[in-house]
Amino acid sequence: MSKRVMVVDDSRLVRVQLGDVLEGTDYEIAAYCRSGEDAIAQYDEVNPDLVTMDIIMTGMDGLDASEIILKKHPDARIVMISSLAYDDTYKRAESIGVKGFIDKPFHREQLLKIFQQALG
């Protein structure tokens, strides 16, 4: 059975790219969210197996959104996808309980490997 992924990114281009990359894999996109607020609002209903979370978004950033989701759902599996990779970003992501980190631009193999690790 395919795993359901909730994609959170304020860039339409990145949302489309993720959809393309996951086409034909064991992952299906269950929902697209354009903001952290949207992700928090949709998480309960979508109940995804995995979330990909952008960091820099208009409004709430991906780290704050992840923290709120993980407080409510400690078993949520969230991987960050971002071109912003400062040490303190990694540290904060780790302390929140994020399962992985994918740098933009991402590649299919790298993405699938980190998804697998996050679900394992």
Please identify, using beta-carbon distances, which residue of 41 and 56 lies nearer to Mg ion.
56
Cβ of residue 24: shortest distance to Mg ion, in angstroms? 26
Please identify, using beta-carbon distances, which residue of 56 and 116 lies nearer to Mg ion.
56
Please identify, using beta-carbon distances, which residue of 12 and 107 lies nearer to Mg ion.
12
What residue spans of the chain are helical by DSSP H? 12-22, 36-46, 62-72, 87-96, 108-119
What sign does the dihedral 42-45-46-49 (CA atoms) show?
A: positive
The site for Mg ion (CB under 5 A) is made up of: 10, 54, 56-57
Cβ of residue 1: shortest distance to Mg ion, in angstroms? 30
Cβ of residue 30: shortest distance to Mg ion, in angstroms? 20
Dihedral over alpha carbons 101, 85, 21, 43 (to 10 degrees): 60
